[in-house]
Amino acid sequence: MGDVTTMPLIPQVVDAVSVPVIAAGGFADGRGLLAALALGAVGIQMGTRFICTTECTVHLNYKERLVRANDRATVVTGKSLGHPVRAIRNAMTTRFAEMEKAEVSETETMEFGTGRLRLAASEGDVVNGSVMAGQVAGLIHDVVPVRELIERIMTEAEVGLHALNSLRTQAN
């Protein structure tokens, strides 16, 4: 998790390397796929969006928490440790941030965070566990099979491409 966001980073990477670029970070739908392709990537990698698929084995509470998320639902903790993590804001992230601000020892802070992802993902405790998720959580509104998700993403991208082609036709 760096300081440069995905949109300006993709074309810089595409220009700097001679291999195909798979864009990652902030993709959840066909519009994002189309944007990444327009910026020079050959595809996208999605993490958070695939959590909310029926095939994903994380606890249903975790998935439901992502579905309820909005555009401001995530927070980054762990920067002081050199291991930043983005997760849905909850009691765990609030306490973690308080510990970082109070400059609690690295050992104590690490001990507090140990096992928190498992607590959320396996046991379903989305209050005291770490519900890791990207900022795209606000774009996730359902839990669907992977096949349906991919078909939806491709259809959205095709619709977006058609709309862009229509703009070009209108301009000529």
- Burial label for 113, CB within 10 Å (0-12, 13-18, 19+), is buried
**Whether this model's pTM surpasses 0.85:** yes
Residue 109 lies in a domain: yes
Q: In the 8-state DSSP scheme, what is residue 74?
A: E
Q: Which of 9, 161, 170, 140 is nearest to 65 (CA)?
A: 140
pLDDT at 170: 77
- 118-136 tens-digit pLDDT: 999 999 999 999 999 999 9
Q: Is residue 137 part of a domain?
A: no
- pLDDT at res. 136: 95
What domain range is 83 assigned to? 74-132
Specify the residue for token string 């970082």. 100
Structure confidence at residue 1 (pLDDT): 59
* Tokens 């990477």 sit on residue: 13
pLDDT score recorded for residue 2: 65
Number of domains into which the chain is organized: 2
Task: Pull the structure tokens for residue 141.
Answer: 């509104």
pLDDT beneath 50: ranges in the chain: none
Using DSSP bridges, classify how beta strands 43-45 and 22-24 pair: parallel, antiparallel or unpaired: parallel
Answer whether residue 114 is part of any domain: yes
Residue 172 domain flag: yes
Calculate the CA dihedral of residues 68, 71, 72, 73 and round it to 10 degrees: 30
